[in-house]
Structure 1
Amino acid sequence: MPATLIAVHTMKGGSGKSTITTILASYLRYVKQKRVLVVDADDPQYSISGIRENELSLYERLIKLTESGHTPKALGAMANTPFEKAMTERLRFNVEHQISPADFYPVLRASATTLRQVDFSADVDFDYVFLDLGGVYDTHIVDMLAKCHLVLVPFTTQNIDIRHSTDYCLMLLDSINEGSLRQTTQIRCLWNKYKFFYDKKAQLIEETIGSYFAEIDTPVAFLKARLQDADSGFDQNKMLTTLSNPVAVEGGKYANTVVELANEILVLCEPAMTTQPA
Protein backbone atom coordinates (compact mmCIF):
# COMPACT_ATOMS: atom_id res chain seq x y z
CA MET A 1 0.00 0.00 0.00
CA PRO A 2 1.30 3.52 -0.73
CA ALA A 3 2.33 5.63 2.24
CA THR A 4 0.40 8.63 3.52
CA LEU A 5 2.43 11.77 2.83
CA ILE A 6 2.49 14.62 5.34
CA ALA A 7 4.32 17.94 4.97
CA VAL A 8 4.68 20.55 7.70
CA HIS A 9 5.40 23.65 5.67
CA THR A 10 5.46 27.43 5.57
CA MET A 11 8.00 29.97 4.35
CA LYS A 12 8.65 31.57 7.74
CA GLY A 13 11.72 30.32 9.61
CA GLY A 14 11.35 29.63 13.31
CA SER A 15 7.71 28.55 13.09
CA GLY A 16 8.56 25.00 14.16
CA LYS A 17 8.40 23.00 10.91
CA SER A 18 11.25 20.63 11.76
CA THR A 19 10.30 20.35 15.44
CA ILE A 20 6.69 19.47 14.65
CA THR A 21 7.81 16.99 11.99
CA THR A 22 10.12 15.29 14.47
CA ILE A 23 7.71 15.01 17.38
CA LEU A 24 4.90 13.71 15.17
CA ALA A 25 7.13 11.15 13.46
CA SER A 26 8.52 10.02 16.82
CA TYR A 27 5.11 9.67 18.42
CA LEU A 28 3.64 7.73 15.50
CA ARG A 29 6.65 5.40 15.35
CA TYR A 30 7.44 4.75 19.00
CA VAL A 31 3.97 4.97 20.55
CA LYS A 32 1.57 4.04 17.75
CA GLN A 33 3.99 1.53 16.17
CA LYS A 34 3.48 2.96 12.69
CA ARG A 35 6.07 2.49 9.98
CA VAL A 36 7.50 5.97 9.53
CA LEU A 37 10.01 7.58 7.18
CA VAL A 38 11.25 11.17 7.45
CA VAL A 39 12.67 12.76 4.30
CA ASP A 40 14.79 15.81 5.08
CA ALA A 41 14.72 18.06 2.00
CA ASP A 42 15.30 21.29 3.92
CA ASP A 43 18.34 22.39 1.93
CA PRO A 44 20.84 23.66 3.04
CA GLN A 45 20.07 23.30 6.79
CA TYR A 46 19.11 19.62 6.79
CA SER A 47 18.44 20.05 10.51
CA ILE A 48 16.62 16.76 11.14
CA SER A 49 19.24 14.59 9.45
CA GLY A 50 21.96 16.52 11.28
CA ILE A 51 20.24 15.90 14.60
CA ARG A 52 19.88 12.19 13.80
CA GLU A 53 23.61 11.91 12.96
CA ASN A 54 24.58 13.57 16.25
CA GLU A 55 22.21 11.35 18.19
CA LEU A 56 23.47 8.12 16.66
CA SER A 57 27.10 9.09 17.21
CA LEU A 58 26.54 9.70 20.92
CA TYR A 59 24.10 6.81 21.26
CA GLU A 60 26.69 4.33 19.96
CA ARG A 61 29.25 5.60 22.46
CA LEU A 62 26.74 5.31 25.30
CA ILE A 63 25.88 1.75 24.28
CA LYS A 64 29.58 0.80 24.41
CA LEU A 65 29.85 2.32 27.90
CA THR A 66 26.88 0.25 29.12
CA GLU A 67 28.53 -2.85 27.68
CA SER A 68 31.59 -2.07 29.80
CA GLY A 69 29.48 -1.95 32.98
CA HIS A 70 28.14 1.61 33.22
CA THR A 71 24.43 1.98 33.94
CA PRO A 72 22.32 4.59 32.12
CA LYS A 73 21.76 6.29 35.48
CA ALA A 74 25.50 6.54 36.08
CA LEU A 75 26.01 7.89 32.56
CA GLY A 76 23.41 10.56 33.26
CA ALA A 77 25.38 11.70 36.30
CA MET A 78 28.48 11.95 34.11
CA ALA A 79 26.77 14.00 31.37
CA ASN A 80 28.33 17.42 30.75
CA THR A 81 25.74 19.04 28.46
CA PRO A 82 21.91 19.11 28.22
CA PHE A 83 22.18 17.10 24.99
CA GLU A 84 24.22 14.37 26.69
CA LYS A 85 21.80 14.36 29.62
CA ALA A 86 18.82 14.02 27.29
CA MET A 87 20.49 11.20 25.37
CA THR A 88 21.22 9.22 28.54
CA GLU A 89 17.52 9.51 29.40
CA ARG A 90 16.70 8.20 25.92
CA LEU A 91 19.09 5.31 26.42
CA ARG A 92 17.61 4.46 29.80
CA PHE A 93 14.06 4.44 28.42
CA ASN A 94 15.03 2.47 25.33
CA VAL A 95 16.88 -0.16 27.36
CA GLU A 96 13.90 -0.57 29.70
CA HIS A 97 11.46 -0.87 26.78
CA GLN A 98 13.73 -2.95 24.52
CA ILE A 99 13.93 -0.30 21.80
CA SER A 100 17.07 -0.75 19.71
CA PRO A 101 18.59 1.44 16.97
CA ALA A 102 17.04 -0.96 14.48
CA ASP A 103 13.65 0.35 15.64
CA PHE A 104 14.48 4.01 14.92
CA TYR A 105 12.62 5.44 11.95
CA PRO A 106 14.95 6.23 9.03
CA VAL A 107 15.84 9.82 8.16
CA LEU A 108 16.82 10.32 4.53
CA ARG A 109 18.46 13.46 3.15
CA ALA A 110 17.31 14.54 -0.32
CA SER A 111 17.18 17.61 -2.52
CA ALA A 112 13.86 19.02 -3.67
CA THR A 113 14.82 18.22 -7.27
CA THR A 114 15.53 14.57 -6.45
CA LEU A 115 12.37 14.30 -4.38
CA ARG A 116 10.20 15.34 -7.34
CA GLN A 117 11.33 12.21 -9.20
CA VAL A 118 10.18 9.78 -6.50
CA ASP A 119 6.98 7.84 -7.22
CA PHE A 120 5.21 8.04 -3.88
CA SER A 121 2.13 6.33 -5.32
CA ALA A 122 4.02 3.03 -5.45
CA ASP A 123 3.74 0.44 -2.70
CA VAL A 124 6.33 1.07 0.03
CA ASP A 125 7.18 -0.36 3.42
CA PHE A 126 5.96 2.71 5.31
CA ASP A 127 2.62 3.87 6.64
CA TYR A 128 3.62 7.54 6.86
CA VAL A 129 6.24 9.63 5.07
CA PHE A 130 6.99 13.06 6.52
CA LEU A 131 8.51 15.60 4.15
CA ASP A 132 10.62 18.33 5.73
CA LEU A 133 10.77 20.87 2.90
CA GLY A 134 12.73 24.09 2.56
CA GLY A 135 11.25 27.46 3.48
CA VAL A 136 10.50 28.55 -0.08
CA TYR A 137 7.47 28.35 -2.35
CA ASP A 138 8.56 27.43 -5.86
CA THR A 139 7.55 24.87 -8.47
CA HIS A 140 9.59 22.14 -6.73
CA ILE A 141 7.76 22.71 -3.45
CA VAL A 142 4.32 23.00 -5.06
CA ASP A 143 4.87 19.74 -6.94
CA MET A 144 5.71 17.99 -3.67
CA LEU A 145 2.77 19.50 -1.80
CA ALA A 146 0.50 18.29 -4.60
CA LYS A 147 1.55 14.72 -3.78
CA CYS A 148 0.74 15.09 -0.08
CA HIS A 149 -2.41 13.93 1.63
CA LEU A 150 -2.00 16.46 4.42
CA VAL A 151 -0.25 19.84 4.52
CA LEU A 152 0.17 21.30 8.01
CA VAL A 153 0.75 25.05 8.25
CA PRO A 154 2.20 26.11 11.63
CA PHE A 155 1.15 29.42 13.19
CA THR A 156 2.58 31.09 16.29
CA THR A 157 0.96 33.98 18.12
CA GLN A 158 3.73 36.40 17.12
CA ASN A 159 2.29 39.06 14.80
CA ILE A 160 5.02 38.62 12.19
CA ASP A 161 4.52 34.84 12.13
CA ILE A 162 0.75 35.27 11.79
CA ARG A 163 1.23 37.57 8.81
CA HIS A 164 3.68 35.22 7.07
CA SER A 165 1.59 32.11 7.73
CA THR A 166 -1.58 33.86 6.53
CA ASP A 167 0.20 34.96 3.35
CA TYR A 168 1.34 31.38 2.88
CA CYS A 169 -2.26 30.12 3.14
CA LEU A 170 -3.25 32.63 0.45
CA MET A 171 -0.46 31.29 -1.77
CA LEU A 172 -1.87 27.79 -1.29
CA LEU A 173 -5.29 29.12 -2.27
CA ASP A 174 -3.83 30.66 -5.45
CA SER A 175 -2.17 27.35 -6.31
CA ILE A 176 -5.47 25.51 -5.83
CA ASN A 177 -7.31 27.99 -8.05
CA GLU A 178 -4.58 27.67 -10.70
CA GLY A 179 -4.81 23.88 -10.61
CA SER A 180 -1.24 23.22 -9.46
CA LEU A 181 -2.55 21.93 -6.10
CA ARG A 182 -5.39 19.44 -5.85
CA GLN A 183 -8.57 20.56 -4.14
CA THR A 184 -8.66 17.20 -2.36
CA THR A 185 -5.39 17.89 -0.53
CA GLN A 186 -6.15 18.32 3.15
CA ILE A 187 -4.75 21.60 4.44
CA ARG A 188 -4.78 22.21 8.17
CA CYS A 189 -3.31 25.02 10.23
CA LEU A 190 -2.07 24.47 13.76
CA TRP A 191 -0.98 26.66 16.62
CA ASN A 192 2.55 26.16 17.87
CA LYS A 193 4.25 27.81 20.87
CA TYR A 194 0.73 28.67 22.00
CA LYS A 195 -0.07 30.69 25.12
CA PHE A 196 -3.59 30.39 26.53
CA PHE A 197 -4.13 34.16 26.91
CA TYR A 198 -4.19 34.48 23.09
CA ASP A 199 -7.53 32.66 22.83
CA LYS A 200 -9.53 35.62 21.47
CA LYS A 201 -6.80 36.55 19.00
CA ALA A 202 -6.51 32.93 17.88
CA GLN A 203 -10.25 32.63 17.33
CA LEU A 204 -10.23 35.73 15.11
CA ILE A 205 -7.35 34.36 13.04
CA GLU A 206 -9.07 30.99 12.66
CA GLU A 207 -12.26 32.65 11.41
CA THR A 208 -10.29 34.81 8.97
CA ILE A 209 -8.42 31.85 7.48
CA GLY A 210 -11.64 29.87 7.18
CA SER A 211 -13.30 32.74 5.28
CA TYR A 212 -10.51 32.80 2.67
CA PHE A 213 -11.31 29.24 1.63
CA ALA A 214 -15.08 29.38 2.07
CA GLU A 215 -15.91 29.61 -1.64
CA ILE A 216 -13.95 26.56 -2.79
CA ASP A 217 -14.30 22.86 -2.04
CA THR A 218 -11.05 22.65 -0.07
CA PRO A 219 -11.81 22.72 3.66
CA VAL A 220 -9.07 24.64 5.43
CA ALA A 221 -9.32 24.97 9.18
CA PHE A 222 -7.24 24.96 12.34
CA LEU A 223 -6.73 21.72 14.20
CA LYS A 224 -8.30 21.64 17.64
CA ALA A 225 -5.06 20.68 19.36
CA ARG A 226 -2.81 23.63 20.15
CA LEU A 227 0.84 22.91 20.88
CA GLN A 228 1.48 24.76 24.11
CA ASP A 229 4.58 26.81 24.75
CA ALA A 230 7.05 24.16 25.91
CA ASP A 231 7.17 23.39 29.62
CA SER A 232 10.28 24.38 31.52
CA GLY A 233 13.02 21.82 30.92
CA PHE A 234 11.38 20.34 27.84
CA ASP A 235 13.10 22.40 25.13
CA GLN A 236 16.36 20.49 25.35
CA ASN A 237 14.56 17.21 24.65
CA LYS A 238 11.84 17.91 22.13
CA MET A 239 13.90 17.66 18.93
CA LEU A 240 15.48 14.24 19.50
CA THR A 241 14.43 11.59 16.99
CA THR A 242 15.24 8.35 18.82
CA LEU A 243 12.33 8.23 21.24
CA SER A 244 8.77 9.50 21.54
CA ASN A 245 8.98 12.70 23.53
CA PRO A 246 5.58 12.46 25.28
CA VAL A 247 6.64 9.13 26.73
CA ALA A 248 10.02 10.43 27.88
CA VAL A 249 8.54 13.51 29.53
CA GLU A 250 5.37 12.40 31.24
CA GLY A 251 2.71 14.98 32.00
CA GLY A 252 2.93 18.69 31.34
CA LYS A 253 0.83 20.71 28.92
CA TYR A 254 3.32 20.45 26.05
CA ALA A 255 3.56 16.66 26.17
CA ASN A 256 -0.22 16.35 26.48
CA THR A 257 -0.88 18.58 23.47
CA VAL A 258 1.62 16.59 21.40
CA VAL A 259 -0.47 13.48 22.05
CA GLU A 260 -3.70 15.35 21.21
CA LEU A 261 -2.22 16.67 17.97
CA ALA A 262 -0.88 13.28 16.87
CA ASN A 263 -4.18 11.53 17.53
CA GLU A 264 -6.10 14.24 15.65
CA ILE A 265 -3.80 13.79 12.66
CA LEU A 266 -4.28 10.02 12.76
CA VAL A 267 -8.03 10.52 12.45
CA LEU A 268 -7.47 12.79 9.44
CA CYS A 269 -4.99 10.50 7.71
CA GLU A 270 -6.25 6.98 8.26
CA PRO A 271 -8.96 7.34 5.57
CA ALA A 272 -6.26 8.63 3.18
CA MET A 273 -4.46 5.30 3.44
CA THR A 274 -7.25 3.74 1.41
CA THR A 275 -7.75 6.73 -0.91
CA GLN A 276 -4.36 7.68 -2.36
CA PRO A 277 -3.81 10.65 -4.69
CA ALA A 278 -2.89 10.01 -8.28
Structure 2
Amino acid sequence: MKTAHKTKFIAFSSQKGGVGKSTFTTLTASVLHYRLGFNVAVFDADFPQYSLMKMKKRDMAMVMENETLKKLAYKQFTNLNKKAYPIIQHKAEGLLEAADAFIQSSPIPIDVVFFDLPGTVNTPGILKALSGMHHIFTPITADRVVMESTLIFTQLMQDVIMKKGETAIKTLNLFWNQVDGRERSPLYDIYNQLIDDLGFNLMPCSIMNSMRFRKESEANSKAVFRSTILPPDKHLMKACRFDQFMTEFLKIVAL
Protein backbone atom coordinates (compact mmCIF):
# COMPACT_ATOMS: atom_id res chain seq x y z
CA MET A 1 0.00 0.00 0.00
CA LYS A 2 1.29 3.46 -0.88
CA THR A 3 1.91 5.91 1.94
CA ALA A 4 2.05 9.65 1.39
CA HIS A 5 5.11 10.21 3.61
CA LYS A 6 7.41 8.50 1.10
CA THR A 7 6.67 11.17 -1.48
CA LYS A 8 8.88 14.24 -1.18
CA PHE A 9 7.18 17.65 -1.18
CA ILE A 10 9.43 20.34 -2.65
CA ALA A 11 8.89 24.03 -3.38
CA PHE A 12 10.96 26.72 -5.05
CA SER A 13 9.64 29.54 -2.96
CA SER A 14 10.33 33.21 -2.32
CA GLN A 15 8.47 36.37 -1.38
CA LYS A 16 9.73 38.16 -4.48
CA GLY A 17 8.48 37.70 -8.02
CA GLY A 18 10.69 37.40 -11.07
CA VAL A 19 13.54 35.48 -9.43
CA GLY A 20 12.85 32.21 -11.26
CA LYS A 21 10.61 30.10 -9.00
CA SER A 22 8.39 28.74 -11.79
CA THR A 23 11.37 28.27 -14.11
CA PHE A 24 13.28 26.16 -11.59
CA THR A 25 10.17 24.16 -10.72
CA THR A 26 9.79 23.25 -14.39
CA LEU A 27 13.49 22.59 -15.03
CA THR A 28 13.93 20.34 -12.00
CA ALA A 29 10.67 18.47 -12.52
CA SER A 30 11.51 17.82 -16.18
CA VAL A 31 15.03 16.53 -15.43
CA LEU A 32 13.72 14.18 -12.72
CA HIS A 33 10.74 12.90 -14.71
CA TYR A 34 12.13 12.64 -18.24
CA ARG A 35 15.84 12.04 -17.71
CA LEU A 36 16.37 10.42 -14.29
CA GLY A 37 13.41 8.04 -14.17
CA PHE A 38 11.46 9.49 -11.24
CA ASN A 39 7.69 9.96 -11.25
CA VAL A 40 6.82 13.61 -10.70
CA ALA A 41 3.68 15.70 -10.25
CA VAL A 42 3.37 19.48 -10.01
CA PHE A 43 0.75 21.55 -8.21
CA ASP A 44 0.36 25.03 -9.62
CA ALA A 45 -0.95 27.07 -6.70
CA ASP A 46 0.34 30.44 -7.92
CA PHE A 47 -3.07 32.14 -7.97
CA PRO A 48 -4.24 34.01 -9.98
CA GLN A 49 -1.74 33.71 -12.87
CA TYR A 50 -1.23 29.90 -12.73
CA SER A 51 1.79 30.33 -14.99
CA LEU A 52 2.71 26.61 -15.11
CA MET A 53 -0.74 25.68 -16.43
CA LYS A 54 -0.25 28.27 -19.19
CA MET A 55 3.29 27.06 -19.82
CA LYS A 56 2.12 23.50 -20.42
CA LYS A 57 -0.38 24.67 -23.05
CA ARG A 58 2.35 26.73 -24.71
CA ASP A 59 4.77 23.78 -24.65
CA MET A 60 2.20 21.42 -26.20
CA ALA A 61 1.53 23.90 -29.00
CA MET A 62 5.26 24.46 -29.62
CA VAL A 63 5.97 20.72 -29.86
CA MET A 64 3.11 20.22 -32.32
CA GLU A 65 4.28 23.11 -34.52
CA ASN A 66 8.01 22.30 -34.48
CA GLU A 67 9.01 19.17 -36.40
CA THR A 68 12.32 18.73 -34.57
CA LEU A 69 10.70 19.00 -31.15
CA LYS A 70 7.82 16.77 -32.26
CA LYS A 71 10.30 14.01 -33.16
CA LEU A 72 12.16 14.50 -29.87
CA ALA A 73 8.92 14.24 -27.90
CA TYR A 74 7.76 11.14 -29.83
CA LYS A 75 11.09 9.40 -29.27
CA GLN A 76 11.13 10.37 -25.61
CA PHE A 77 7.64 9.15 -24.74
CA THR A 78 8.09 5.97 -26.78
CA ASN A 79 11.34 5.11 -24.98
CA LEU A 80 10.17 6.16 -21.53
CA ASN A 81 6.77 4.51 -21.87
CA LYS A 82 5.23 7.07 -19.56
CA LYS A 83 3.21 10.24 -19.90
CA ALA A 84 4.15 13.85 -19.27
CA TYR A 85 4.01 14.74 -15.61
CA PRO A 86 0.65 16.14 -14.52
CA ILE A 87 0.24 19.79 -13.53
CA ILE A 88 -2.71 20.29 -11.20
CA GLN A 89 -4.22 23.71 -10.54
CA HIS A 90 -5.17 24.39 -6.91
CA LYS A 91 -5.30 27.32 -4.49
CA ALA A 92 -2.98 27.40 -1.48
CA GLU A 93 -5.86 26.61 0.86
CA GLY A 94 -6.25 22.84 1.22
CA LEU A 95 -3.17 22.26 -0.93
CA LEU A 96 -1.52 19.58 1.21
CA GLU A 97 -4.76 17.62 1.49
CA ALA A 98 -5.24 17.81 -2.28
CA ALA A 99 -1.68 16.58 -2.86
CA ASP A 100 -2.14 13.67 -0.44
CA ALA A 101 -5.40 12.70 -2.14
CA PHE A 102 -3.70 12.82 -5.55
CA ILE A 103 -0.84 10.59 -4.36
CA GLN A 104 -3.21 8.05 -2.86
CA SER A 105 -5.31 7.89 -6.05
CA SER A 106 -2.35 7.73 -8.44
CA PRO A 107 -1.99 4.40 -10.30
CA ILE A 108 1.81 4.83 -10.11
CA PRO A 109 3.90 5.76 -7.05
CA ILE A 110 4.80 9.46 -7.04
CA ASP A 111 8.40 10.17 -5.99
CA VAL A 112 8.26 13.96 -5.87
CA VAL A 113 5.53 16.59 -5.84
CA PHE A 114 6.63 20.13 -6.69
CA PHE A 115 4.55 23.11 -5.58
CA ASP A 116 4.56 26.47 -7.36
CA LEU A 117 3.34 28.77 -4.61
CA PRO A 118 2.14 32.40 -4.43
CA GLY A 119 4.78 35.02 -3.69
CA THR A 120 3.26 36.43 -0.51
CA VAL A 121 2.79 35.03 2.99
CA ASN A 122 -0.50 36.95 3.17
CA THR A 123 -2.14 34.45 0.81
CA PRO A 124 -4.69 32.32 2.70
CA GLY A 125 -3.29 28.85 3.38
CA ILE A 126 0.28 29.63 2.26
CA LEU A 127 2.01 29.23 5.64
CA LYS A 128 0.37 25.86 6.20
CA ALA A 129 1.39 24.78 2.68
CA LEU A 130 4.99 25.91 3.26
CA SER A 131 5.16 24.11 6.59
CA GLY A 132 4.19 20.89 4.77
CA MET A 133 7.17 21.01 2.41
CA HIS A 134 10.13 18.71 3.05
CA HIS A 135 12.59 20.93 1.19
CA ILE A 136 12.39 24.59 0.17
CA PHE A 137 14.74 26.11 -2.41
CA THR A 138 14.92 29.88 -2.80
CA PRO A 139 16.60 31.58 -5.77
CA ILE A 140 18.27 34.90 -4.94
CA THR A 141 19.79 37.70 -7.00
CA ALA A 142 22.28 40.42 -6.03
CA ASP A 143 19.56 43.02 -5.65
CA ARG A 144 18.90 44.82 -2.37
CA VAL A 145 15.10 44.50 -2.52
CA VAL A 146 15.27 40.81 -3.44
CA MET A 147 17.78 40.09 -0.69
CA GLU A 148 15.90 41.95 2.03
CA SER A 149 12.67 40.17 1.11
CA THR A 150 14.39 36.78 0.89
CA LEU A 151 16.25 37.06 4.19
CA ILE A 152 13.08 38.09 6.02
CA PHE A 153 11.21 35.17 4.41
CA THR A 154 13.96 32.65 5.24
CA GLN A 155 14.18 33.90 8.82
CA LEU A 156 10.41 33.50 9.17
CA MET A 157 10.68 29.92 7.92
CA GLN A 158 13.68 29.00 10.07
CA ASP A 159 13.09 30.89 13.30
CA VAL A 160 9.31 30.79 13.51
CA ILE A 161 7.83 27.91 11.54
CA MET A 162 10.64 25.35 11.92
CA LYS A 163 11.30 26.08 15.60
CA LYS A 164 7.63 25.58 16.47
CA GLY A 165 8.11 21.95 15.52
CA GLU A 166 4.81 21.55 13.65
CA THR A 167 6.45 21.29 10.28
CA ALA A 168 7.75 18.78 7.76
CA ILE A 169 10.58 21.10 6.62
CA LYS A 170 13.98 19.40 6.64
CA THR A 171 16.04 21.92 4.67
CA LEU A 172 15.92 25.54 3.54
CA ASN A 173 18.32 26.24 0.68
CA LEU A 174 19.30 29.55 -0.90
CA PHE A 175 21.09 29.68 -4.25
CA TRP A 176 22.37 32.44 -6.51
CA ASN A 177 20.52 32.91 -9.81
CA GLN A 178 21.12 35.20 -12.81
CA VAL A 179 24.81 35.66 -12.00
CA ASP A 180 26.65 37.68 -14.66
CA GLY A 181 29.90 35.85 -15.36
CA ARG A 182 31.48 38.96 -16.92
CA GLU A 183 31.53 40.96 -13.72
CA ARG A 184 31.93 40.17 -10.05
CA SER A 185 29.94 42.48 -7.83
CA PRO A 186 31.22 43.04 -4.26
CA LEU A 187 27.58 42.56 -3.25
CA TYR A 188 28.05 38.78 -3.56
CA ASP A 189 30.78 38.73 -0.92
CA ILE A 190 28.76 40.98 1.37
CA TYR A 191 25.59 38.92 1.03
CA ASN A 192 27.46 35.60 1.29
CA GLN A 193 28.88 36.75 4.64
CA LEU A 194 25.46 37.95 5.81
CA ILE A 195 23.82 34.64 4.84
CA ASP A 196 26.55 32.76 6.71
CA ASP A 197 26.18 35.02 9.79
CA LEU A 198 22.44 34.35 9.85
CA GLY A 199 23.08 30.60 9.73
CA PHE A 200 21.25 30.01 6.47
CA ASN A 201 22.26 27.31 3.98
CA LEU A 202 23.67 28.68 0.71
CA MET A 203 24.19 26.12 -2.05
CA PRO A 204 27.72 26.18 -3.58
CA CYS A 205 26.44 26.33 -7.16
CA SER A 206 25.52 29.64 -8.79
CA ILE A 207 23.21 29.73 -11.82
CA MET A 208 24.71 31.89 -14.54
CA ASN A 209 22.71 34.32 -16.63
CA SER A 210 22.59 33.43 -20.33
CA MET A 211 20.88 34.98 -23.33
CA ARG A 212 20.91 31.54 -24.99
CA PHE A 213 17.82 30.52 -23.06
CA ARG A 214 15.72 32.81 -25.24
CA LYS A 215 16.16 30.34 -28.09
CA GLU A 216 13.48 28.19 -26.49
CA SER A 217 10.83 30.63 -27.74
CA GLU A 218 11.92 30.54 -31.36
CA ALA A 219 9.57 28.72 -33.71
CA ASN A 220 12.40 26.81 -35.43
CA SER A 221 14.31 25.95 -32.24
CA LYS A 222 16.10 22.59 -32.20
CA ALA A 223 16.58 22.55 -28.44
CA VAL A 224 14.58 23.58 -25.39
CA PHE A 225 15.57 24.77 -21.95
CA ARG A 226 12.42 25.43 -19.94
CA SER A 227 9.72 22.97 -20.94
CA THR A 228 7.09 20.86 -19.20
CA ILE A 229 7.17 18.33 -22.07
CA LEU A 230 10.92 17.82 -22.62
CA PRO A 231 13.99 17.95 -20.34
CA PRO A 232 16.34 20.91 -20.70
CA ASP A 233 19.03 20.58 -23.35
CA LYS A 234 22.26 19.28 -21.78
CA HIS A 235 24.43 21.95 -23.42
CA LEU A 236 22.16 24.71 -22.10
CA MET A 237 22.18 23.08 -18.65
CA LYS A 238 25.97 23.11 -18.63
CA ALA A 239 26.17 26.68 -19.95
CA CYS A 240 24.32 28.05 -16.91
CA ARG A 241 25.62 25.40 -14.46
CA PHE A 242 22.19 23.92 -13.90
CA ASP A 243 23.84 20.50 -14.20
CA GLN A 244 25.87 21.35 -11.08
CA PHE A 245 22.72 22.58 -9.36
CA MET A 246 20.99 19.23 -10.03
CA THR A 247 23.90 17.30 -8.49
CA GLU A 248 23.62 19.39 -5.32
CA PHE A 249 19.82 19.20 -5.35
CA LEU A 250 19.83 15.40 -5.51
CA LYS A 251 22.21 15.18 -2.54
CA ILE A 252 20.06 17.51 -0.45
CA VAL A 253 16.73 15.79 -1.09
CA ALA A 254 18.33 12.29 -1.02
CA LEU A 255 16.66 10.93 -4.13
TM-score by length of 1: 0.75
Q: Deviations over 1:163-221 (max 9, x none)?
A: 222222222234237617648520000111112333643233122123223xxxxxx31
Q: Secondary structure at the match of 1:245?
A: coil
Quote the RMSD (CA, aligned, Å). Answer: 2.8
Q: Give 2:91's aligned residue.
A: 111
Q: CA deviation at 1:119?
A: 6.2
What is the percentage of aligned positions where both structures have the same residue?
21
Q: Mind listing any 5+ residue stretches in structure 1 that lack a counterpart?
A: 63-83, 214-219, 272-278
For 1:4 and 1:177, locate their aligned partners in 2 and report how far apart those are by CA, in whole Å. 17
Larger Rg: 1
4+ long deviations beyond 6 Å: none
Structure-1 separation of matches of 2:162 and 2:178: 31
Contact 1:176 1:183 in 2 (8 A): no
Cα distance in structure 2, aligned partners of 1:183 and 1:203:
32
Letter in 2 for 1:260: Q
Q: Deviation string for 1:208-256 (max 9, x for gaps)?
A: 123223xxxxxx3111111110242546343321111133x457522xx
Report SS of the residue matched to 1:198.
coil
The answer to whether the 8 A contact 2:179-2:209 is kept is: yes
Task: Give the structure 1 partner of residue 227 of structure 2.
Answer: 240
Cα distance, 1:241–1:143 mapped onto 2, change above 3 Å: same
Q: 2:33 aligns with which of 29, 36, 39?
A: 29
Aligned length: 237
Q: Which residue of 2 aligns with 1:19?
A: 23
**What corresponds to 1:227 in structure 2?**
207
Which TM-score applies when normalising by structure 2? 0.81
After superposition, residues 1-278 of structure 1 pair within 5 angstroms as 1=3, 2-59=6-63, 62=64, 87-97=66-76, 98=78, 102-118=82-98, 120=100, 125-138=109-122, 140-176=125-161, 179=164, 182=167, 185-196=170-181, 197-198=183-184, 200-213=186-199, 220-234=200-214, 236=216, 237-247=224-234, 249=235, 252-254=238-240, 257-270=241-254
DSSP 3-state at the match of 1:134: coil
